[in-house]
């Protein structure tokens, strides 16, 4: 009877919730300032683009060819030659972490080149494996280009029998920001949808206001709905703000449609809010809720969603866990809608998964939200 | 007899992990038009019972019916419920809170304005409709909480400790408001830890540790002990010693100081001791006085503790000096444009009890904190045992024992770990520390909780542990901030026995309390109201200032507050 | 004053340790981070690219395309090959991220190879995952170059000379050799800061703060008492990793433990100093938690673990100098793999000592001045 949906009660609760959002600085802090920080960190602080590596150069040959190759290294945009000298001296620089690689142009290089070969040595700092392999590959590339150009001058070379022509779709300049910034917007929606939502309901339990509300005829569905609607809208506002910043400040292209972005975000917020509601109903304590939301919501979004780390590269058991992380189904959609464009054949299956999780979390949340004080 | 609007029958509730039942076979009726009191100390089960009636907790056994239906399935729009923390949204204004509850309880829009006008008038909140609830004073919050519970005239009004922490004047106003409402045929359940409020109810259920000790009209209970409560005039100098002797006498089962007199309760069917045996001159007379509900409660619990304090027996003698032990000299504290304490001055000689009285938020705690160095005074200075604790070296704090308002020991540490910590905090070395700790465990009966987390003990034991920690190092000065708030009257008696004993050893005690009758124990007290001292003196002087020499302290307090309000309005 | 280590200091250290060990929430923050990090970080947070699926559109079907496809399929980094027969299917597979790359061979590919006309493998990558795409591009390039070298039609070598690349410190470029030393930094950072950031805020929230302040403690005693548990916990976690590592991960530790521990302690003091600042300015555990979160995320991202510091803009590199984790990351990496000598350890330790001194001084100043 009294648990039937009543628009008047619902409206009154909506007004209350909205006033609280507007008047509580900590809500705005979590909904807008924390997201900015995250966006900023991922926009500027994390960068997987091919580095300009600091290297040392050991030039042991004073032939013209050796000097010419050394000059190529010094003027390369991939390398920053910060130190020259003997290998022994450079190697201690590498131990200290000040340089990541050493290019050795050995004694007799000039003679070798004259005979039609000319080998160099590259020593790289294996303690940073990705940088190390980049340096190895780029050094060889640079040397080969140099040798090719010299040979070309004398007309003694011909192209290799097979070469690769690589094209990178959607992101020809390979800017890591293009995938990190849309991914961080997913993290932002997790913060507002799960962390903030779980906090506000736990706060009502802590302050005793929910006790007074539950003694009135308000229905549990109305109660949950009034928590969902405002934070859903707040998360969308936060998402929109971050997207605008991503496009204007961080220069991430937006090739999809705003409508698709809205639909994608909305389907993700369904499980995110459900999870937040569930956490708060189960913990009833702000501090515990924030810890649980962090560990079960935000950390998986950062680590297990494919946002930064490739899911395929993870061991099988961890890959299995990622299927339980809703943001796993969001990240490809966000990256696609931003830098590839609308592709509903990619969106739809992911959306189905998100909606499935949404139903699951809401079911659990409704079950845990009782008109009872334990 | 009218049909009850709500009743509980054989109600039992046990929370998981707890040894004792929170409620043990409780039965009671709430009748329309009557004030039903639900009385008992903290932890007695009052809140659990009210929550069951509000349909927020399922009982394990027995039944709770409201309007003839199970409490969990009844028409909630007809219940007004005010939980302990009022259920107000602090980010919402007065009128926004009212609107919210009006809509939630389905008040017809046509009736809305009339209802708001009536309630705002009634609660005198009309001037503050746009103020955020969080910015209201404690008394105003309480009234707003009541207004929200009343916004649609209920048939059942459940009030969970509506008067806790409010000044006596506001308490009376609140009582009067609710009493008028009950006159309209509403059934009111009023829960309280103040035993004096119980006396005014039409009918009372007395709870202690989940058990119903008594149900019926309060008068019937006090009638049982009529002629057993006596007043004995004593010289103010030795009254504490005489009280101790009286309490050690097997014929006396309870006693308190009342200014320059003692109030004693005789064991049933026993003759009073002679005044001479208590060390009084012959000619002193026992005078029978009207028993109070508290006396009856203590009688039900089997009487109070004896008069000798083990704690004081083992305490060192504090050397006599002429210098005052505590001085407040024009202490003021402002927070922005809000003055929390305004020119508070007093001086307490060694070996006396000085009381800081007043409602919550009046400035008691601010004064207290300035004296012990926790707050920098905006103006003025204070000293404790000759040190200005705000600027003195840390060692000076060695002379202070401090028991904070609310339990403020480490709840996640065991009782023994707390004792060890405070022994170390006050620099007690191995042997001394061990001895002091063992003695405290003995005196305060802490054995069975030694390994448990302090937070899981009953309130009375928490307060005992807090006192034990505050006096481990036997300081000459003791600051006690509401030491007896919420505990049952037996524990209160025990505390005052210790305090009285310590004072006789030369310890100086500064105590705050909102139990007005406890002010009677003080040698002198000052009444703080709206940041200012409105009266200072011995309990009898304060009563005389209020123009009523033998009145209850609370009446004196109210008279002084009213006079102060009048003065303020005139100014 | 009598001896510095009197009953007061002993009491507060013991109390703080018990509080951490008995508080269920604090216990969670002790057990959970090492657990999560060990299992998730060590294995999940890999920037390696493995198990990729690569698409093939082979219009050629000749010897050389077959050879390349075989070698790609046999690469340890590749999980499988998917064959397509139309460009539309290629686009679809990349768009829906079923494959990260597609190799395209024209119908005259093998003929071009045999004729020495310079055949071209068309490779298309999913640029949404620019990092992974780039790495896969590297794999493909190496395979194609290998095949190319086996083509015996070429008379003079296409380009003279070669590059001999040696990976020092980590000859097989095993990614775990990078992850485990970094985890020592991250784990000691996370566990120590989560404990210290709660320490003062909890006393305020529980109401024990006043009680503490009216006792005859000196500010330094309180701060020392509150910093001992997080430092010990950080050390315990780091030690746990050091002990477990040889049995589970087998990453070499080539430096001196006598250099590692002093540097670790300085690092932990710097982190607890920062955490103490957050705790002192917070009024509730909630605020302390959010504050710590807002600080540890940048500390983590700017440590050099998540992404190389060299890549970030100069002003952020300046900010990273104030991040103790950035310095300690160099030390652990150096001591584990490179056998870093004392002088280099010292060079990277003193900036952390400066951070520790400054943050602890400011924290104790704020502690004194925020008494109200």
Residue A340 clears pLDDT 50, i.e. is over it: yes
> Chain C partners of B413 at a C-beta cutoff of 8 Å?
15, 18-19, 22
Q: Mean pLDDT, to the nearest integer, of B76-85? A: 89
The residues with which A162 forms a beta bridge, in sequence order, are: C119
- Best A205, A216, A223, A284 member to test B by mutation, with max B CBs in 10 Å, is A216
Q: Assess whether A90 and A209 both reside in one domain.
A: no
CA-based nearest residue in chain A for residue C307: A46
For residue B359, the model assigns a pLDDT of 76
Phi then psi dihedrals of residue B399, to 5 deg? -85, 5
* Band (B550; pLDDT cuts 50, 70, 90): low
Q: Are residues A298 and A241 in the same domain?
A: yes
Contacts of A371 in chain B (CB under 8 A): 55-56, 72
Q: Clarify whether residues A147 and A102 are in a common domain.
A: yes
pLDDT digits (tens, 9 = 90+) for B390-413: 777 777 888 999 998 777 888 889
Interface of A with B (CB under 8 A): 2, 6, 8-9, 11-13, 15-16, 19-20, 23-24, 207-209, 211-218, 371-373
The set of residues, in sequence order, having a beta carbon less than 8 Å from that of A11 and lying 6+ positions away, is B103
Position C327 scores a pLDDT of 94
pLDDT in tens, C186-216: 888 888 888 888 888 888 888 888 888 888 8
Q: Are B430 and C20 in contact (CB under 8 A)?
A: no
What mean pLDDT is reported for chain A?
87
A136 in the same domain as A16: no
Indicate the pLDDT class of residue A1, thresholds 50, 70 and 90. very low
- What mean pLDDT is reported for chain B? 87
Same domain, A15 and A65: no
Q: How far apart are CA A60 and CA A109, in angstroms?
A: 8
Please report whether residue A111 resides in a domain. yes
pLDDT in tens, A66-105: 999 999 999 988 888 988 888 889 988 888 888 999 999 9
pLDDT at C26 over 70: no
Instruction: Search chain B and give the residue with CA nearest C27.
Output: B412
C contact test, residue of B340, B410, B451, B485 with most C CBs within 10 A: B410
Q: How high is the pLDDT of residue A140?
A: 86
Q: For residues A95 and A195, state if they share a domain.
A: no
Which chain B residues are closer than 8 Å to A217 by Cβ? 75-77, 104-106
Give A-chain residues touching B95 at CB under 8 angstroms.
none
Domains identified in chain A, total number = 2
Q: Find out whether B47 and B84 touch, Cβ atoms under 8 Å.
A: yes
Please give the average per-residue pLDDT across A44-71, as a whole number: 86
Q: In what order do the strands lie in the sheet with B211-216?
A: B69-70, B61-66, B6-13, B23-30, B211-216, B203-208, B35-39, B187-192, B156-159, B79-82
Exposure of A75 by Cβ count < 10 A (0-12 exposed, 13-18 middle, 19+ buried)? Answer: exposed
Give B278's DSSP letter: G
Contact C130 A178 (CB under 8 A): yes
Is it the case that residue A263 has pLDDT exceeding 90? yes
Reported as a pLDDT band with limits 50, 70 and 90, residue A14 is very high
Nearest to C125 among A117, A133, A168 (CB): A168
| CA–CA distance, B78 with B150 (Å, rounded to integer) | 10
CB contact under 8 Å between C339 and A179, yes or no, is no
B89 contact residues in A (CB cutoff 8 A): 16, 20, 209
Q: Which of C10, C23, C213 sits opposite B424 (nearest CB)?
A: C10
- C11·B425 Cβ contact <8 A: yes
| A60 shares a domain with A12 | no
Asked whether B168 and B197 are in contact (CB, 8 A), the reply is no
**Taking each helix axis from N to C terminus, what angle separates B459-470 and B415-425, rounded to the nearest 10 degrees?**
20
φ/ψ (deg, to 5) at C304? 100, -5
Residues A23, A112, single domain; the answer is no
Share of chain C above pLDDT 70, in %: 93
- Residue of C8, C14, C19 lying closest to B427 (CB–CB): C8
Looking at residue A344, its pLDDT comes to 92
Determine, for residues B413 and C213 on separate chains, whether the beta-carbon distance falls below 8 Å. no
Judge whether C322 is closer than 8 Å to chain A, CB to CB.
Answer: no
If you average pLDDT over residues B95-114, what whole number do you get? 92
Q: Nearest CA of chain B to the CA of A222: how many Å? A: 11
State whether A200 and A231 are in the same domain: yes
Does residue A2 surpass a pLDDT of 50?
A: no
CA distance B544 to B562: 15
Q: Phi first, then psi: give them for residue B547, nearest 5 degrees.
A: 85, 15
| A121, A101: one domain | yes
Domains of chain C, CATH where assigned: 7-45+175-369 (no CATH), 52-150 (3.40.1710.10)
Note the helical H segments in B232-376. 239-248, 293-300, 310-313, 364-371
Give me the residue from A15, A208, A217 closest to B106, CB to CB. Answer: A217
Distant-in-sequence, close-in-space partners of B481: CB < 8 Å, separation ≥ 6: B364, B365, B368, B402, B403, B404, B405, B511, B512
Q: Which residues contact C296 (CB under 8 A, 6 or more apart)?
A: C189, C190, C193
B468 band by pLDDT with thresholds 50, 70 and 90: very high
Is the pLDDT score of B308 beyond 90? no
Shortest distance, CA C274 to any CA of chain B (angstroms): 25
Task: Say yes or no: A42 and A59 in one domain.
Answer: no
Q: Chain A: give the shortest CA distance to residue B87, in Å.
A: 4
CA distances from A182 to A178, A265, B294, C128 (A): 7, 12, 68, 10
Instruction: Tally Cβ neighbours within 10 Å of residue A347.
Output: 21
Q: What is the pLDDT of residue A159?
A: 66
- Sheet containing strand C101-105, edge to edge, reads A162-169, C119-126, C101-105, C52-58, C78-84
Task: Decide if A162 is inside a domain.
Answer: no
CB contact under 8 A, B100 and A15: yes
Could you say which of A121, A154, A187 is where a domain stops?
A154
Residue C146 has a pLDDT of 82
Secondary structure of B417-440 in the HEC alphabet?
A: HHHHHHHHHCCCCHHHHHHHHHHH
At C2, the pLDDT band (50, 70, 90 cuts) reads: very low
Task: Note whether B474 and B399 are within 8 A (CB).
Answer: no
Beta-bridge partners for B254? B265
In this prediction, residue B73 has a pLDDT band, given cuts at 50, 70 and 90, of confident
pLDDT, tens only, A265-296? 999 999 999 999 999 888 888 878 888 888 88
Domain-located, residue A160: no
Q: What is the pLDDT of residue A288?
A: 80
Q: Does C305 touch chain A (CB under 8 A)?
A: no
Same domain, A183 and A65: no
Question: Does an H or E element contain B524, and which?
Answer: strand B524-529
Between chain B and chain C, how many beta carbons pairs sit less than 8 Å apart?
92
Percentage of chain A beyond pLDDT 70 is: 96
The arithmetic mean of pLDDT across residues C235-243, rounded, is 89
Beta bridge pairs of residue B257: B262
* Segment 229-268 of chain C within 8 Å of chain A by CB: none
**Domain assignment present for A298:** yes
Q: Which of B190-204, B318-332, C151-165, C290-304 has the lowest mean pLDDT?
A: C151-165
Give yes or no for residue B2 having a pLDDT over 60.
no
Distance CA B407, CA B10 (A): 33
pLDDT at C161 over 90: no
Alpha helices, DSSP H, located in chain C: 7-22, 24-36, 42-44, 63-74, 87-95, 109-115, 130-150, 176-206, 208-214, 219-248, 257-281, 285-301, 314-321, 324-333, 342-369
Chain B residues in contact with C211 by the CB 8 A cut-off are: 402, 404, 408-409
Residue C273's pLDDT is: 95
**Domain membership flag for residue A373:** no
Contacts of C86 (CB under 8 A, 6+ apart): C57
Element (H, E) at A210: helix A209-214
CA-based nearest distance A344→chain C, Å? 9
CA atoms within 13 A on the CB side of A356: 12
Instruction: Give the range among A150-159, A205-214, B496-505, C351-360 with minimum mean pLDDT.
Output: A150-159
pLDDT value, residue B1: 45
Contact A220, A3 (CB under 8 A): yes
SS3 B261: strand
Q: Is C24 exposed, middle or buried (0-12, 13-18, 19+ CB in 10 A)?
A: exposed
**Strand A79-84 to A53-59 pairing:** parallel
Which has more confidence, B88 or A291? B88
DSSP reduced 3-state for B212? strand
Using a CB–CB cutoff of 8 Å, tell me whether B476 touches chain C: no
- Give the phi and the psi of residue C58 in degrees, each rounded to 5: -105, 95
- Tally Cβ neighbours within 10 Å of residue C118: 15
> Is C12 an 8 Å CB contact of chain B?
yes
Residue A166 maps to a domain: no
Question: Which structural domain, as residue segments, surrounds residue A320?
Answer: 7-46+175-368
Question: How far is the C-alpha of B340 from the C-alpha of B133, rounded, in Å?
Answer: 19
Q: How far is CA B202 from CA B31, B38, B65, B178, B295, in A?
A: 10, 11, 21, 13, 18
Residues of chain B positioned with their CB less than 8 A from the CB of A212 = 81-83, 86-88, 148
Q: What is the pLDDT of residues A118-146, one digit of tens each?
A: 889 999 998 888 888 888 888 888 888 88
For residue A329, the model assigns a pLDDT of 95
- Farthest-apart Cα atoms in chain B, separation: 76
Q: Are strands B203-208 and B35-39 parallel, antiparallel or unpaired?
A: parallel
Residue A227 to residue A277: CA distance in whole angstroms: 8
Q: CB distance B58–A372 less than 8 Å?
A: yes
pLDDT exceeds cutoff 70 at B293: yes
**In this predicted structure, what is the pLDDT of residue A374?**
64
A294 is a domain residue:
yes
The average pLDDT across B190-217 equals 89
Confidence band for A362, pLDDT divided at 50, 70 and 90: very high
User: C128 and A172 in contact by Cβ < 8 A?
Assistant: no
Which chain A positions have a beta carbon within 8 Å of B86's beta carbon?
Answer: 208, 212
Contact present, B436 and B477 (Cβ < 8 Å): no
ipTM tops 0.95? no
Task: Using alpha carbons, select from B149, B186, B193 the residue that is nearest to residue B47.
Answer: B193
Q: Return the minimum-mean-pLDDT range out of A67-76, A330-339, B50-59, C34-43.
A: C34-43
Q: Using CA coordinates, name the residue in chain C closest to A145.
A: C159
Q: Are C47 and A48 in contact (CB under 8 A)?
A: yes
Inspect the interface and report whether the beta carbons of B88 and A20 lie closer than 8 Å: no
Q: Which of B408, B411, B422 sits opposite C210 (nearest CB)?
A: B408
pLDDT for residue C368 is more than 70: yes
Q: Which chains touch B (3 or more CB pairs under 8 A)?
A: A, C
Q: What is the CATH number of the domain that holds A132?
A: 3.40.1710.10
By CA distance, what is B159's nearest residue in A?
A212
pLDDT single digits (tens) B416-455: 999 999 999 998 888 889 999 999 999 999 998 898 888 8
Share of chain B above pLDDT 90, in %: 32
pLDDT at residue C370, rounded to an integer = 61
> Closest partner residue to B105 among A15, A211, A216, by Cβ?
A216
Does the structure show a pLDDT above 90 at C282?
no
CA proximity to B94, closest of B140, B138, B162:
B140
Give the strand order in the sheet containing B379-384: B338-348, B326-335, B379-384
Q: Which residues does chain C have within 8 Å of residue A335's beta carbon, measured at their own beta carbons?
A: 128-129
pLDDT band of residue A156 (cuts 50, 70, 90) is low
């Amino acid at each position: 009877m009294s648990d039937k949906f009543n628009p008047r009660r619902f409206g009154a609760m909506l007004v209350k919730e909205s006033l609280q959002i507007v008047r509580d600085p900590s809500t705005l802090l979590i909904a807008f300032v924390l997201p900015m920080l995250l966006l900023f960190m991922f926009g500027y602080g994390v960068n997987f683009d091919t580095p300009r590596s600091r290297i040392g150069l050991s030039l042991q040959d004073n032939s013209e060819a050796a000097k010419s190759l050394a000059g190529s290294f010094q003027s390369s945009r991939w390398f920053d030659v910060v130190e020259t000298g003997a290998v022994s001296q450079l190697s201690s620089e590498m131990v200290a972490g000040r340089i990541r690689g050493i290019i050795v142009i050995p004694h007799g290089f000039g003679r070798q080149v004259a005979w039609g070969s000319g080998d160099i040595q590259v020593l790289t700092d294996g303690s940073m494996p990705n940088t190390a392999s980049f340096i190895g590959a780029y050094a060889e590339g640079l040397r080969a280009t140099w040798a090719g150009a010299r040979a070309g001058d004398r007309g003694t070379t011909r192209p290799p029998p097979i070469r690769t022509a690589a094209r990178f779709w959607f992101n020809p300049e390979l800017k890591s920001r293009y995938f990190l910034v849309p991914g961080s917007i997913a993290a932002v929606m997790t913060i507002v949808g799960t962390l903030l939502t779980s906090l506000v309901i736990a706060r009502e339990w802590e302050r005793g206001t929910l006790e007074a509300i539950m003694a009135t005829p308000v229905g549990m569905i109305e109660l949950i709905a009034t928590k969902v609607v405002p934070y859903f809208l707040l998360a969308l506002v936060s998402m929109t703000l971050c997207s605008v910043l991503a496009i204007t400040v961080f220069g991430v292209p937006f090739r999809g449609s705003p409508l698709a972005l809205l639909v994608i975000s909305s389907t993700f917020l369904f499980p995110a809010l459900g999870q937040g509601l569930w956490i708060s109903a189960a913990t009833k304590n702000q501090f515990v809720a924030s810890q649980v939301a962090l560990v079960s919501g935000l950390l998986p979004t950062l680590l297990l969603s494919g946002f930064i780390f490739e899911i395929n590269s993870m061991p099988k058991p961890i890959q299995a866990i990622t299927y339980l992380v809703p943001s796993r189904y969001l990240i490809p959609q966000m990256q696609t809608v931003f830098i590839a464009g609308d592709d509903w054949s990619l969106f739809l299956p992911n959306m189905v998964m998100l909606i499935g999780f949404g139903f699951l979390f809401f079911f659990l949340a409704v079950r845990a939200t009782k008109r009872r004080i334990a | 007899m009218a049909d009850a609007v709500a009743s509980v029958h054989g109600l039992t509730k046990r929370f998981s992990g707890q040894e004792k039942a929170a409620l043990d076979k409780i039965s009671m009726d709430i009748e329309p038009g009557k004030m039903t009191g639900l009385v008992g100390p903290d932890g007695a089960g009052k809140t659990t019972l009210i929550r069951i009636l509000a349909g927020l907790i399922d009982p394990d056994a027995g039944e709770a019916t409201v309007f003839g239906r199970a409490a969990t399935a009844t028409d909630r729009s007809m219940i007004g419920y005010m939980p302990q923390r009022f259920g107000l949204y602090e980010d919402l204004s007065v009128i926004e809170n009212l609107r919210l509850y009006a809509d939630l309880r389905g008040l017809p829009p046509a009736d809305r304005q009339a209802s708001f006008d009536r309630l705002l008038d009634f609660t005198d909140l009309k001037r503050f409709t746009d103020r955020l609830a969080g910015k209201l004073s404690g008394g105003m919050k309480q009234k707003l909480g009541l207004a929200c519970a009343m916004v649609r005239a209920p048939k059942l009004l459940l009030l969970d400790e509506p008067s806790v922490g409010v000044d006596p004047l506001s308490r009376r106003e609140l009582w009067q408001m609710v009493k008028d409402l009950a006159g309209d045929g509403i059934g009111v359940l009023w829960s309280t830890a103040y035993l004096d409020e119980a006396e005014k109810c039409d009918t009372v259920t007395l709870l202690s540790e989940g058990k119903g000790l008594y149900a019926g009209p309060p008068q019937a209970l006090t009638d049982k002990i009529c002629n057993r409560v006596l007043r004995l005039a004593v010289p103010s100098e030795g009254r504490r010693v005489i009280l101790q002797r009286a309490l050690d006498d097997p014929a006396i089962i309870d006693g308190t100081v009342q200014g320059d007199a003692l109030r004693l309760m005789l064991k049933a069917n026993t003759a009073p001791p002679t005044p001479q045996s208590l060390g009084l001159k012959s000619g002193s007379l026992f005078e029978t006085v009207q028993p109070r509900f508290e006396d009856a409660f203590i009688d039900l619990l089997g009487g109070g503790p004896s008069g000798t304090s083990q704690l004081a027996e083992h305490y060192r003698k504090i050397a006599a000096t002429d210098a005052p032990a505590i001085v407040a000299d024009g202490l003021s504290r402002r927070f922005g444009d809000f003055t929390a304490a305004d020119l508070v001055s007093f001086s307490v000689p060694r070996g006396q009890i000085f009381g800081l009285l007043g409602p919550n938020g009046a400035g008691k705690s601010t004064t207290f904190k300035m004296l012990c160095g926790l707050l920098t005074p905006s103006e003025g200075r204070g000293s404790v045992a000759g040190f200005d604790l705000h600027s003195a070296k840390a060692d000076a704090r060695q002379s202070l024992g401090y028991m904070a308002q609310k339990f403020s020991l480490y709840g996640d540490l065991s009782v023994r770990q707390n004792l060890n910590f405070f022994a170390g905090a006050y620099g007690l070395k191995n042997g001394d520390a061990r001895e002091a700790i063992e003695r405290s465990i003995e005196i305060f009966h802490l054995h069975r909780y030694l390994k448990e987390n302090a937070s899981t003990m009953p309130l009375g034991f928490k307060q005992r542990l807090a006192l034990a920690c505050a006096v481990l190092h036997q300081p000459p000065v003791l600051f006690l901030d509401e030491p007896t708030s919420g505990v049952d009257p037996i524990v209160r008696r025990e505390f005052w026995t210790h305090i009285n004993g310590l004072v006789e050893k030369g310890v100086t005690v500064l105590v705050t309390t909102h139990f007005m009758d406890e002010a009677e124990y003080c040698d002198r007290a000052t009444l703080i109201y709206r940041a200012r001292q409105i009266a200072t003196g011995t309990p009898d002087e304060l009563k005389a200032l209020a123009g009523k020499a033998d009145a209850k302290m609370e009446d004196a307090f109210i008279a002084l507050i009213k006079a102060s309000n009048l003065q303020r309005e005139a100014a | 004053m009598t001896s510095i280590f009197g009953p007061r200091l002993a009491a507060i250290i013991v109390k703080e340790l018990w509080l951490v060990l008995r508080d269920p929430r604090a216990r969670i923050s002790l057990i959970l981070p090492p657990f999560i990090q060990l299992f998730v970080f060590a294995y999940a947070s890999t920037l390696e690219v493995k198990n990729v699926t690569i698409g093939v559109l082979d219009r050629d079907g000749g010897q050389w395309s077959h050879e390349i496809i075989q070698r790609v399929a046999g690469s340890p980094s590749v999980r499988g090959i998917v064959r397509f027969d139309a460009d539309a299917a290629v686009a679809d597979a990349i768009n829906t991220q079923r494959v990260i790359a597609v190799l395209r061979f024209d119908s005259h590919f093998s003929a071009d190879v045999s004729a020495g006309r310079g055949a071209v493998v068309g490779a298309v990558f999913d640029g949404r995952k620019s990092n992974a795409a780039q790495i896969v591009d590297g794999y493909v390039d190496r395979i194609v170059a290998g095949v190319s070298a086996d083509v015996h039609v070429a008379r003079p070598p296409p380009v003279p000379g070669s590059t001999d690349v040696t990976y020092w410190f980590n000859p097989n470029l095993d990614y775990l050799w990078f992850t485990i030393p970094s985890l020592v930094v991250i784990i000691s950072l996370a566990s120590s800061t989560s404990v210290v950031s709660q320490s003062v805020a909890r006393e305020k929230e529980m109401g024990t703060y006043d009680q503490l302040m009216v006792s005859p403690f000196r500010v330094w005693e309180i701060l020392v008492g509150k910093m001992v548990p997080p430092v010990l916990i950080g050390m315990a976690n780091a030690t746990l990793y050091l002990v477990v590592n040889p049995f589970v991960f087998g990453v070499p530790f080539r430096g001196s433990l006598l250099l590692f521990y002093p540097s670790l302690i300085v690092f932990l003091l710097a982190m607890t100093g920062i955490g103490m600042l957050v705790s002192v300015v917070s009024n509730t555990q909630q605020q302390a938690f959010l504050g710590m979160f807002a600080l540890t995320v940048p500390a983590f991202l700017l440590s050099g673990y998540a992404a190389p510091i060299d890549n970030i803009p100069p002003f952020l590199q300046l900010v990273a100098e104030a991040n103790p984790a950035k310095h300690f990351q160099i030390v652990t990496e150096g001591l584990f793999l490179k056998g870093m000598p004392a002088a280099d350890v010292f060079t990277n330790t003193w900036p952390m000592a400066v951070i520790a001194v400054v943050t602890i001084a400011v924290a104790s100043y704020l502690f004194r001045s925020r008494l109200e």
